[in-house]
Each structure stands twice: as C-alpha cells, then as structure tokens.
Amino acid sequence: MVLAKTPDSMVSRNDNRYLDVDKINKSLDLVTSNGATYAEVRLVALNDYSVAMRDGKLERAIPGQEIGATIRVLADGAWGVHSTTDISSLQEQMSPTLKLAQSVAARRSAKDRPIKLAEVPIIEDSMHWVPKKDVRNTELSQRLEHMKLMNSSASEHENIVSVTCGWHDENIHTEFLSSEGMNRTWSFQRSLINGMVTARDGGNVVSYRTRFGGEGGLELIESCDVDALGENARISALRLLKAQRAPSGKMPLIADRDLTGVYIHEALGHPCEADLVAAGDSCLDGKLGQKIGSDLVTVIDDPTIRGGYGAHPIDDEGLDTIEKCLIKNGVLTEYLNHRETAEHFGIKPNAGARAQDGLHHPLVRMSNTLIHGGTHNDLDDLVDDVEYGVYACGSRGGQVDTGRGSFQFAAQEAWLIENGEITTPLKDVSVSGLTLQILKDVDGLTKESRLAAPGFCGKGQTVPVGDGGPIMRISEALVG
C-alpha cells in the first residue's frame, strides 16, 4: 500500500491573520481568571468556488467567501459555545459563553463526571499545505474546460438524456488560539470534479454518478483523466438501463474500493468514534483489545495522507494529525478521539477533532479511512471460488446505527456472480449487516489498498472524507 506522507517541501510557514491575537489572548486570559478552566477561539476563513454545468452549458458559478469563528469555554466541567460570522463581537461574547458553561455545570449532579481535557503539547506555529497550483488562481474558463471534457465523453449516446458536471474547490484557512497558549494557523485546499449521467430507454430511466478529488489545488484535477471518468460513467449508465433487479438474501459479496471504503467508514469507523462510545451509543463500547474481526482486517484512519479528501494537517483542537490504527489483524486497538474523550477513557489524544467550518464546534470524526491490503492478487482471484454471489461497485452512500451496530450501504451498479464468473448486471443493490458479525466475515482482500472516490460524512455536521481499501470479499452479507 502506498501512503503519501507530507514532504517538508510542500509545507509553508507564511502567515496572514484575521484574528487580533493580542486582543483575543487578553479576553481568553480574562475568561480563565473569571472561572474558566479552558477557553479557545477557532476562526475559519473559507474561499470557495462552485460550478455547475448541464449538457455542456454553464448552469451556474458561485464564488464565495465565508468567515466564521467559534468560542469554546470549559468551566466547572461543562462546555459553553458561541459561534458567529461577526468576528468583531468575539471579545464581548467571551463572558456570556462562560456563563453558559457555568449554567450547564450547575445542573450536573454529583454522579456526573465533569468534563476534563487530556493534556497536549502547546504549540505556537503556522503550517500551510501549499498546493502545486493554488486553486484560487484558477479562471472560470479553466474550470469549464475540464468539465466540458467530462461532459463530451459522458454524453456520446442517444440514450443519454442529460449530463450534469460539477466543480468545487476551496481554500481553508484556520486560526486557533487557546487559554493554554496554543497559537496555530494552518491552511490547505481541496478540489473536486463530479458528474451525473442520466440515461433513458422508453419508460426506464437510470442515473450514474462519478467523482474525483481530494486535498490539493488545480494540479489534482489536472492529474485526473476526466475524459475517461465521463466515458466510464456513460458506459455504466447505459449498462444500468439493461440491468436487472438484484436478488435478495444472504450471499457472498465482493465490493470494489469505493464500497469497501464506505463499508469500513460506516460499519467500523463511526462506532469507533469515542464521543459516541462515551455517550453509550456504540456497539464497540468496552471492546478495546478484543478480537472483533477476521485476521485479515487491519484498518487505519489517517488525515496525513496528502491528496485524500479527508486530509488535514492539524485537527480542530490544534493538534498535529496522526495515523490511527483502529483494528490490527482483527483486534480493536484504538478509538478515534478528541481531548475530552481521550481524558474520559484515559487514553492518548489522537487528534480526531473536526468541525464542519468556523461556525461549528469540533466532534470526533474520521478523515481518510482504509482497510489494508490482503493476499489475493486481483478481482478474478476473489471471484474464482464464489458459486453464487454479488459483485458490487461504486457508492451511493450508506448509514449506520452505531448503538445497535447495524449498517446499510448502496451500490451504484453490480453484477451477479455465478460459478466463479461475473455474469448479469444488476441495479439498486444495497447491503446491510451487523458490524460485529460482518467484520468476522471478511474472507478475502486484494493486495493493493488505496483511497477511492472522495466522499462526505454527516454527523449533524458534514465533513469531507476519503475512504478506500482493496477489493474485498465478505463470505455472507444481506443483499437487497
């Protein structure tokens, strides 16, 4: 497996600040002298650009700038939070936010455990992941050129009734100041191109979505063969027109990288989030160190994989991001955590805090989540000994009930496997199961593991994520 770490040459340490550091530090000092045990201000300035094209024509282009900041104050073991787009009001909101925290604390009973934060290194610096081609310098015409390429290869067939292409790029600049003396600034970019192809034959209408992107600037999109992306989407949409309804029931399932990524994100990643575990809403509560999956299963979550859509240099509590190994050879080794849950469980903080933007407080979140590769050579190797099953590809998303440990994810297209051969195309295949069962049922993984198409994860807040792995076989899954 190739994981691209951050080369030093791609990190810049130049600075431009929105926050008045002296003034904010004074108000952080004031709030701690008035009873707060901890306080922070996190500001995010986002420059983004979205473009939509339909059937080769510009539908809309939206350039924008957002600035938001969130104050978090911890007092008497409880949180108060204030978020605003009015940056000039931050100092005056510090005391009311302290009062909010104290109001929550006053309602806690003696048996309630006060919130404390795990200790972390205090860092003053700036870190900027500098893209090769700053996406902010991209002209609309350049963006349209890439989208037109995708459109033209996707639309070349009489049954294709519509092709929609989308683009989204963003420069994310974050400033973080805390009462502990943390003073960090960081920035990075994300770029994404996507398409949706709709095909129709009589009354039968289907659609297929494709997406490419990650952390990085224009160079990322330039590295993508968007022509092939569009062509493959067209071929898949046309194939779906002739696809049959899937069989239902328990059977072997082979999942491509996209679906393997969604599977591990939903089935394992979410239940591994320590805030859910602490709230009593995870089926993995109390299972650290226990064998919960097949020996084949090793899973990491790694925000430092440059290019992954979930990559970021520093988490939203100001900690340097690191690789986390969630499962090693089937044994649950680590929860994703933030400072509060690290202290709660008495474990080392692993920088898993992410917020949607400057207007949201950080939660425990995934970043780039992958299953390591196994021993099978390729897809054929996995299909060979399947008598009757399904090979499913491309994700339409998924969902999990972390408490019960049940999950569901849907494929964009699929094929029946009969006597070791991939045969009939299928449509609208979904897969469901129970985390603690299905991790044990992984019985084959191809050697090469890498991130698949970029995705988004919702947990009250939406954050970009990268998921992936090898091609995976599950001996028995509920297919519907």
Partner 1 sequence: MKLLPDGALDRLQEGCRTIGSRCNQLGISQWEVVASQSYGHQIDIEGGKISLAGGGGEGGYGVRVLEDGKFGFAYLVDVKSADEAISSAISIARMSPSIDGFVLPSEQSAKKVAGLFDKSIIDLDSEYLLNQADAIISEVSSLDARAVVTGGGIGVSANAASILTSEGIESGGLTTSHGVGVQVSIEENGQLTSSWQSKSAKSKLPNVPQCIERAVEWAQLTRDPIKVDPLEDDSPILMTSEGFSPLFSVVVPTAIKGEKLVRNESFWSGKMSENVLSSDLSIIDDATVESGKSSGSRDDEGVPSRRNVLIKDGKLTSSLWSTRDSAQQISEGRIESAHTTGSAIRSGHQSPPVSGCSNLFLTSSKKSHSFESMIEVMGDGFVINSVMGAHTANPTSGDFSVTSSSILRVENGEIIGAVKQAGVSGNMANALQEGVFLGDDVRPQGSYSSGTMYVPSVLLTKGIRVNPV
Pairing of strands 368-371, 462-469: parallel
Q: Out of 219, 281, 443, 476, which residue is the one contacting partner 1 (CB under 8 A)?
A: 281
Q: Is 199 helix (H, G, I), strand (E, B) or coil?
A: strand
Q: How far is the CB of 460 from partner 1 (least distance, A)?
A: 9
Q: How many residues bind partner 1 (CB under 8 A)?
A: 75
Site for partner 1 in 152-211 (CB under 8 A): 161-162, 198, 200, 203-207
Q: Choose the stretch contacting partner 1; rule: CB under 8 A; options: 273-281, 290-298, 319-327, 368-376.
A: 273-281
**Counting contacts by CB under 8 A, is residue 279 touching partner 1?**
yes
**Tokens in use for 75?**
């007092």
Closest CA to 361 of 128, 73, 129: 73
Q: How far is the CB of 459 from partner 1 (least distance, A)?
A: 10
Site for partner 1 in 308-337 (CB under 8 A): none
Closest CA to 367 of 224, 261, 258: 261
| Residues ≥6 apart with Cβ < 8 Å to 191 | 135, 168, 169, 213, 214, 216, 217, 218, 220, 221
Q: How far is the CB of 163 from partner 1 (least distance, A)?
A: 11
Looking at the Cβ atoms of 83 and 185, the one nearer to partner 1 is: 83
**Counting contacts by CB under 8 A, is residue 16 touching partner 1?**
no
Looking at the Cβ atoms of 74 and 371, the one nearer to partner 1 is: 74
**Counting contacts by CB under 8 A, is residue 79 touching partner 1?**
yes
Q: Out of 42, 82, 168, 190, which residue is the one contacting partner 1 (CB under 8 A)?
A: 82
Looking at the Cβ atoms of 62 and 122, the one nearer to partner 1 is: 62
**Counting contacts by CB under 8 A, is residue 428 touching partner 1?**
yes
Site for partner 1 in 97-156 (CB under 8 A): 100-101, 103-104, 107-108, 112, 140-141, 144
Looking at the Cβ atoms of 13 and 113, the one nearer to partner 1 is: 113
Q: How far is the CB of 1 from partner 1 (least distance, A)?
A: 28
Site for partner 1 in 51-70 (CB under 8 A): 57-58, 60-68, 70
| Residues ≥6 apart with Cβ < 8 Å to 94 | 27, 28, 30, 31, 39, 71, 73
Closest CA to 161 of 120, 127, 126, 197: 197
Q: Out of 275, 301, 315, 316, which residue is the one contacting partner 1 (CB under 8 A)?
A: 275
Site for partner 1 in 285-304 (CB under 8 A): none
Site for partner 1 in 347-386 (CB under 8 A): 359, 361
Closest CA to 209 of 257, 264, 246, 165: 165
**Counting contacts by CB under 8 A, is residue 34 touching partner 1?**
no
CA distances from 278 to 34, 291, 355 (A): 29, 20, 19
Q: How far is the CB of 64 from partner 1 (least distance, A)?
A: 4
Looking at the Cβ atoms of 68 and 468, the one nearer to partner 1 is: 68
Q: Is 383 helix (H, G, I), strand (E, B) or coil?
A: helix
Q: Out of 86, 119, 124, 125, which residue is the one contacting partner 1 (CB under 8 A)?
A: 86
Site for partner 1 in 387-416 (CB under 8 A): 396-401, 403-404, 406-410
**Tokens in use for 81?**
């939070």
**Counting contacts by CB under 8 A, is residue 462 touching partner 1?**
no
Q: Out of 283, 314, 353, 453, which residue is the one contacting partner 1 (CB under 8 A)?
A: 283
